[in-house]
């Protein structure tokens, strides 16, 4: 049984050709001379060496090609962009690099021969299909709108860029080559930047101060709403214009010097106008006072700087300050010319200010008395100082205003009485900021009170003497009444009783119808009436203490 003939392959055919050529060569060698044979052998040896060298070059080329293939495979798998090859008819995945697998959160084995749209969220699948149809119908490379890939942990936003390839080997004919770029972080960054920009716009337009940002050429790059209102110029007209447009002409040269000096210094910000008053210029040519703070920032990755100026219109504040200054001057003039003492004290009752009348009466200036306790300076004695101190300290727990009188010693070392009224100024937390004490000289009143008190005491003493004299007079009166009553009762009345008995005896001794009898009877009755009157008078003079 003869062995089966192997099917002809590329190597077998080459061997058969070589054997045929060798058979022919052997037949020819038999007819050659020795020299021809030696020459042929030499040619064959040279050809053999050339073949060996070519074979070595081919092996080296193969090694390099394999290394290049490996590098390409590594580059293909680990490039930051996902790559996928889809068949043209169904959109199935034929090839995919590892980056794409990581984007979708699956292994390469699991996604091969799967439809790519399976890994697109349902809301974006129709858009993905339209994109594939567009690639099939339109030549060239085209980008898609953003689509979202499903992921095991979190969806990924991607942008597709692909094309249709039709000239491929038979196994890869009609395929779609698509690059998948992960733009999740980029989109989140854009969203964050948009939010930051919106927040910055809200903040910039919401602040009351004008904010103007300029570049190194002093041209405006940012102009917020407050700046529009301050300078009466819309941002569209201000941006790109030089900042000198809003600076009065007489200040522009000085501004240039200060700006250049600030730009060369490393200080991040500086308050402008501390040494001199600065002004801005409105669109209509009106100048107005401003306060400004300038800051500089180096843009990261660039050599240029941006300068931001925060401006505040202080026109109303300056006007209010002028009014306040005038009012303070008016109040100061009133206080200095007032006929009352005025002392302003700190929460520890130390002197902060006093008016001219206070300085004059004590012959001490405010500089001498400032910071000294209120009670130690103006009390005439140590005991009075302590009393005033206790009185004042009791106000801390009480309710102001309060008033008290205190004795002081004036410039002539004379004792004077001052009536003090005290009140307090509080902050928003109801904590005392200052005490205010006003006083009037009540020495005359005090002296009058002392005189009145002495007079009152003298009157009381005289009243006591009068009461004693009245008591003595009353006693004497009672004694006299008692004596008169006794005399009337014991002497006169007894005599009248005796006279009445004698008249009765005479009347009884006369004959009936005697002419004298009526006269005696009348005398008898008069004596009886007189006796009754004397008894009544004696009763009236009877001492009241016996009633």
Residue 129: inside a domain: yes
Average pLDDT of span 475-499: 73
Confidence of residue 543 (pLDDT cuts 50, 70, 90): low
The answer to whether residues 520 and 510 touch, using CB atoms and an 8 Å cutoff, is: yes
Give yes or no: residues 150 and 49 share one domain. Answer: no
Residue 431: inside a domain: yes
Give yes or no: residues 479 and 415 share one domain. Answer: no
The answer to whether residues 437 and 392 touch, using CB atoms and an 8 Å cutoff, is: no
Confidence of residue 271 (pLDDT cuts 50, 70, 90): confident
Give yes or no: residues 92 and 63 share one domain. Answer: no
Distance from C-alpha of 151 to C-alpha of 290, rounded to nearest angstrom: 57
Distance from C-alpha of 176 to C-alpha of 196, rounded to nearest angstrom: 39
Contacts of residues 180-186 at CB distance under 8 Å and 24 or more positions apart, as own/partner, are 180/81, 180/82, 180/83, 180/84, 180/99, 180/100, 180/103, 180/149, 181/81, 181/82, 182/80, 182/81, 182/82, 182/103, 182/156, 182/157, 182/158, 183/146, 183/157, 183/158, 183/159, 184/156, 184/157, 184/158
Give yes or no: residues 88 and 146 share one domain. Answer: yes
Residue 357: inside a domain: yes
Residue 41: inside a domain: yes
Give, in order, the Cα–Cα distances in Å from 379 to each of 363, 369, 371, 414, 464.
15, 14, 16, 12, 38
Confidence of residue 234 (pLDDT cuts 50, 70, 90): very high
Neighbours of 343 (CB within 10 A): 23
The answer to whether residues 150 and 158 touch, using CB atoms and an 8 Å cutoff, is: no
Which helix H or strand E contains 51, and what residues bound it? helix 34-78
Region of poorest pLDDT, from 91-100, 263-272, 303-312, 421-430:
263-272
Query: Per residue in 517-538, pLDDT tens?
Result: 778 777 877 877 877 777 777 6
Give yes or no: residues 100 and 130 share one domain. Answer: yes
Residue 214: name the closest of 304, 314, 312 by CA: 304
Domain boundary among 394, 415, 441: 441
pLDDT of 276 reads: 63
Give yes or no: residues 344 and 436 share one domain. Answer: yes
The mean pLDDT value of the chain amounts to 78
Q: What total number of domains does the chain contain?
A: 5
Give yes or no: residues 95 and 133 share one domain. Answer: yes
Confidence of residue 488 (pLDDT cuts 50, 70, 90): low
Confidence of residue 231 (pLDDT cuts 50, 70, 90): very high
pLDDT of 294 reads: 87
SS (H, E, C) 423-473: EEEECCCCCEEEEEEEEEECHHHHHHHHHHHHHHHHHHHHHHHHHHHHHHH
Q: HSE of 426 in the Cβ direction (CA atoms, 13 Å)? A: 9
Region of poorest pLDDT, from 125-129, 220-224, 276-280:
276-280
Domain boundary among 71, 88, 114: 71
Give, in order, the Cα–Cα distances in Å from 108 to each of 97, 101, 168, 191.
8, 6, 23, 32
The answer to whether residues 504 and 525 touch, using CB atoms and an 8 Å cutoff, is: no
Average pLDDT of span 355-367: 74
Confidence of residue 173 (pLDDT cuts 50, 70, 90): low
CATH number at residue 84: 3.30.450.20
DSSP string, 369-416: HTTSBHHHHH-SSHHHHHHHHHHHHHGGGS-S-EEEEEEEE-TTS-EE
Give yes or no: residues 46 and 100 share one domain. Answer: no
Q: Indicate whether 374 pLDDT > 90.
A: no
pLDDT of 375 reads: 67
Residue 331: inside a domain: no
Average pLDDT of span 144-168: 79
Q: Indicate whether 507 pLDDT > 90.
A: no
Give yes or no: residues 281 and 300 share one domain. Answer: yes
342: left (phi over 0), alpha (psi -120 to 50) or beta: beta
Query: Per residue in 190-214, pLDDT tens?
Result: 888 888 877 777 777 777 888 899 9
Confidence of residue 330 (pLDDT cuts 50, 70, 90): confident
Residue 29: inside a domain: yes
Q: Indicate whether 12 pLDDT > 50.
A: yes
At 543, phi and psi to the nearest 5? -55, 135
Residue 392: name the closest of 342, 436, 425, 447 by CA: 436
Structure tokens at 209: 């101060």
Give yes or no: residues 301 and 350 share one domain. Answer: no
Confidence of residue 378 (pLDDT cuts 50, 70, 90): low
Average pLDDT of span 127-155: 83
Give the contacts of 374 (CB within 8 A, at least 6 positions apart).
343, 345, 349, 350, 351, 388, 392, 437
The answer to whether residues 25 and 32 touch, using CB atoms and an 8 Å cutoff, is: no
At 429, phi and psi to the nearest 5? -95, 15
Q: Indicate whether 372 pLDDT > 80.
A: no
Give yes or no: residues 483 and 431 share one domain. Answer: no
Confidence of residue 242 (pLDDT cuts 50, 70, 90): very high
Give yes or no: residues 36 and 128 share one domain. Answer: no
pLDDT of 536 reads: 75
Residue 470: inside a domain: no
Asked, as a colleague might, if the bond just before 401 is cis with ω within 30 of 0, I would say yes
Query: What is the domain range of residue 495?
Result: 475-546
Domain boundary among 144, 171, 189: 189
pLDDT of 377 reads: 60
Portion of the chain with pLDDT greater than 70, in percent: 83
pLDDT of 171 reads: 46
Average pLDDT of span 103-108: 82
Confidence of residue 546 (pLDDT cuts 50, 70, 90): very low
Mean pLDDT highest for which of 130-139, 258-267, 396-405?
130-139
pLDDT of 241 reads: 93
Q: Indicate whether 2 pLDDT > 50.
A: no
List b or e across 518-535, with b for residues whose CB sees 16 or more CB atoms inside 10 angstroms. Answer: eebeebbeebeeebeebe
Confidence of residue 240 (pLDDT cuts 50, 70, 90): very high
Residue 428: inside a domain: yes
């Amino acid at each position: 049984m003869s062995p089966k003939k192997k099917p002809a392959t590329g190597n077998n055919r080459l061997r058969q050709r070589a054997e045929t050529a060798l058979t022919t060569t052997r037949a020819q060698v038999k007819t050659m001379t020795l020299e021809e044979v030696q020459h042929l052998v030499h040619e064959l040896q040279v050809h053999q060496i050339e073949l060996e060298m070519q074979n070595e070059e081919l092996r080296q080329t193969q090694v390099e090609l394999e290394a290049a293939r490996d590098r390409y495979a590594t580059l293909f798998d680990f490039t930051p962009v996902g790559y996928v090859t889809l068949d043209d008819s169904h959109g199935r995945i034929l090839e995919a690099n590892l980056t794409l697998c990581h984007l979708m959160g699956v292994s390469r084995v699991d996604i091969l021969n799967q439809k790519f749209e399976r890994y697109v969220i349902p809301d974006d699948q129709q858009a993905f299909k339209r994109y594939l149809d567009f690639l099939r119908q339109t030549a060239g490379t085209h980008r898609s709108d953003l689509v979202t890939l499903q992921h095991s942990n979190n969806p990924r936003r991607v942008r597709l860029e692909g094309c249709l390839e039709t000239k491929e080997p038979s196994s890869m004919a009609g395929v779609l080559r698509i690059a998948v770029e992960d733009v999740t972080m980029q989109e989140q960054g854009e969203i964050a930047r948009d939010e930051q920009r919106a927040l910055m716009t809200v903040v910039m337009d919401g602040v009351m101060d004008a904010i103007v940002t300029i570049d190194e050429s002093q041209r405006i790059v940012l102009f917020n709403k407050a700046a529009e209102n301050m300078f009466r110029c819309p941002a569209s007209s201000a941006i790109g214009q030089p900042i000198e447009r809003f600076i009065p002409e007489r200040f522009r040269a000085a501004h240039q010097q200060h700006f250049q000096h600030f730009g060369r210094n490393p200080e991040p910000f500086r308050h402008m106008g501390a040494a001199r008053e600065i002004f801005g210029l409105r669109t209509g040519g009106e100048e107005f006072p401003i306060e400004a703070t300038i800051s500089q920032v180096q843009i990261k990755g660039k050599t240029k700087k941006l300068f931001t100026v925060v401006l505040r219109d202080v026109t109303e504040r300056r006007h209010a300050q002028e009014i306040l200054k005038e009012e303070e001057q008016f109040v100061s003039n009133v206080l200095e010319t007032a006929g009352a003492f005025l002392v302003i004290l700190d929460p520890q009752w130390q002197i902060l200010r006093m008016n001219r009348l206070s300085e004059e009466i004590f012959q001490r200036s405010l500089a001498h008395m400032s910071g000294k306790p209120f009670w130690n300076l103006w009390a005439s004695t140590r005991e009075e100082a302590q009393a005033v101190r206790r009185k004042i300290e009791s106000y801390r727990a009480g309710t102001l205003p309060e008033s008290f009188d205190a004795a002081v010693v004036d410039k002539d070392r004379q004792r004077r009485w001052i009536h003090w009224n005290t009140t307090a100024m509080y902050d928003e937390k109801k904590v005392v900021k200052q005490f205010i004490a006003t006083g009037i000289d009540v020495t005359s009143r005090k002296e009058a009170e002392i005189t009145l008190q002495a007079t009152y005491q003298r009157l009381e003493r005289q009243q006591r003497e009068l009461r004693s004299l009245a008591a003595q007079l009353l006693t004497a009166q009672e004694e006299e009444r008692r004596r008169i009553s006794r005399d009337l009762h014991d002497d006169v009345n007894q005599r009248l009783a005796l006279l009445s008995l004698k008249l009765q005896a005479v009347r009884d001794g006369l004959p009936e119808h005697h002419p004298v009898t009526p006269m005696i009877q009348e005398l008898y009755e008069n004596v009886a009436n007189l006796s009754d009157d004397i008894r009544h008078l004696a009763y009236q003079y009877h001492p009241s203490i016996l009633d």
